[in-house]
Amino acid sequence: MTEYHSTLRRLAVRDDKLIRRALSSDRSNLSVSHLDPKTYAFVRLSAMIAVGASEHTLRPVVEAAQEAGATPEEVVGTLLAVMPVTGVPRTVAAAPAIGLAIGYDVLDALELPDEIDVPTPKEPR
């Protein structure tokens, strides 16, 4: 039996030993996940977007992704990648928080529309 077979079986029966190990620390969770640190950070970031996490809780996940070598484009790309699953409202809500986490204040930048190409709503007739 392969390791992933064993892991799936243990999860299916709620093996407390595996669960405790996976939840004991981020380092332990990374180890049992068999993911590289960058992929691990993207998976966690995707989950945080999906549950509507706040800027406060997104920031350390974004920082972990950057420490693992993620570029700002890849971090922002995560928003686009999860949008078909999480929906537009979650993506729109997460964008300013992720911007702050990578050092870009989206809401502040929107105050300067001449510097960026932002569509403006059409006036009702």
Predicted confidence (pLDDT) at residue 89 exceeds the cutoff of 80:
yes
CA 89, CA 117: separation in Å to the nearest integer? Answer: 21
Predicted confidence (pLDDT) at residue 125 exceeds the cutoff of 70:
no
Rounded mean pLDDT, 14-19: 96
Predicted confidence (pLDDT) at residue 82 exceeds the cutoff of 80:
yes
Rounded mean pLDDT, 71-95: 96
Domains parsed from the chain with CATH numbers: 1-34 (no CATH), 35-108 (1.20.1290)
CA distances to 6, 8, 32, 73 from 3, rounded to whole Å, are 5, 9, 10, 34
pLDDT at residue 124 in the model: 60
- Residues ≥6 apart with Cβ < 8 Å to 62: 45, 75, 98, 101, 102
CA distances to 3, 32, 36 from 99, rounded to whole Å, are 38, 30, 24
